[in-house]
Amino acid sequence: MKITEDRINIIKWLKSQAPSFVPYNVIGIIENENHPVYFDAEKGAVWAQNQYFNYVSGDSETLVAHLETLEDGFYGFAAVEGSLAETLMADHFIHWYEPTERYVHQGEIPKGDASPYPLCSVPIEEAKGIDDRYEFQQEGSFEKLVQAINNRPSSAMYLDGELASYALVHEDNSIGYMYTLEKHRHRGLGYWVALDILKKMREAGHVAFVEIHNNNIKSQGLAQKVGLIKDAYTPWFGIIKGVPEWFKTWNPLGGASYHFTSLAQLKYGHGLSCEYDVYTFEKQDKGYIAQACYKDKKTTFRMTLDETNEAYLIQIDEIIGFDMVDLAKIIAGHFPDKNASFIFPYDPEMANGIKGIVIQKED
- Residue 281: give its domain's CATH number: 3.40.630
State the residue range of the domain holding 143.
Answer: 107-206
Predicted model pTM: 0.93
Q: Which of 136, 206, 140 is nearest to 178 (CA)?
A: 136
Domain assignment of residue 217, yes or no? no
Same domain? For 81 and 10 the reply is: yes
Mean pLDDT to the nearest integer, 13-36: 94
Could you tell me if 162 and 66 lie in one domain?
A: no
Question: Quick one: 46 and 144 in the same domain?
Answer: no
Question: 3-state class of 177 per DSSP?
Answer: strand
Residue 230 belongs to a domain: no
Higher pLDDT, 359 or 279: 359
Considering the domain architecture, whether residues 271 and 331 belong to the same structural domain is answered as: yes
For residue 329, name the pLDDT band (cuts at 50, 70, 90): very high
What's the N-to-C CA distance of the chain in angstroms? 44
**CATH (domain of 139):** 3.40.630.30
Picking from 173, 206, 239, the residue at the C-terminal end of a domain is 206
The answer to the question of residue 232 being in a domain is: no
Considering 103, 123, 141, which residue would you say is the last residue of a domain?
A: 103
In this prediction, residues 146-170 reach a mean pLDDT of 97
Quick check: is 323 in a domain? yes
Of 206, 231, 260, at which residue does a domain stop?
A: 206
Instruction: Give me the number of domains the chain comprises.
Output: 3
For residues 311 and 323, membership in a common domain is answered with yes
> Is 293 strand, coil or helix?
strand
Same domain, 183 and 284: no
Q: Do 117 and 83 belong together in one domain?
A: no
Q: Partners of 87 in the beta sheet?
A: none
Same domain, 120 and 200: yes
Same domain, 117 and 87: no
Examine the domain organization and report whether 71 and 137 are in the same domain: no
The answer as to whether 227 is a domain residue is no
Q: 3-class secondary structure for 76-97?
A: EECCCCHHHHHHHHCCCEEEEE
Q: Determine the pLDDT at residue 83.
A: 97
pLDDT class of 363 with cuts at 50, 70, 90 = low
What is the pLDDT at residue 109? Answer: 81
Query: Is residue 29 in a domain?
Result: yes
Q: Give me the mean pLDDT over the 286-297 stretch.
A: 91
Same domain, 256 and 347: yes
